[in-house]
Amino acid sequence: MEEKNKYKLQHDRPNCIGCGACEAVAPELFEMKDDGKVQLKTGKEAGNGIWGLEILEKDFQAAKDAADSCPVNVIHIIKTDTNEKIV
């Protein structure tokens, strides 16, 4: 049985300072771009520079580590079934 998406990872790219902490702890999710800001590797722009990516339970810890490492708090995790912001 295929695991369903349980969380949405959001990245507020315009307010990213490009420190690279998220990429260091979760390189499978984030990558530094040529403009000096980090971006979700497989995310999609949802508008206003906010990028989103649905993630599975198996990716939750890496996403949380990335969010916790961000000094400007531009990475958030939202539980998809309740729309509750976890980080």
Q: Which CATH architecture has domain 7-85?
A: 2-Layer Sandwich (3.30)
- How does 53-76 read in b/e, with b if 16+ C-beta sit within 10 Å? bbbeeebbebbbbbbebbeeebbb
How confident is the model over 25-52, as pLDDT tens digits?
Answer: 999 999 999 999 999 999 999 999 999 9
Residues forming beta bridges with residue 31, ordered by sequence position: 39
> What average pLDDT does the structure give for the chain?
93
C-alpha 79/C-alpha 87 separation (Å) is 10
Domain ranges of the chain: 7-85
Taking residues 46-73, report their average pLDDT: 95
Query: Is pLDDT at 9 greater than 80 in this prediction?
Result: yes
Query: Which pLDDT belongs to residue 1?
Result: 47
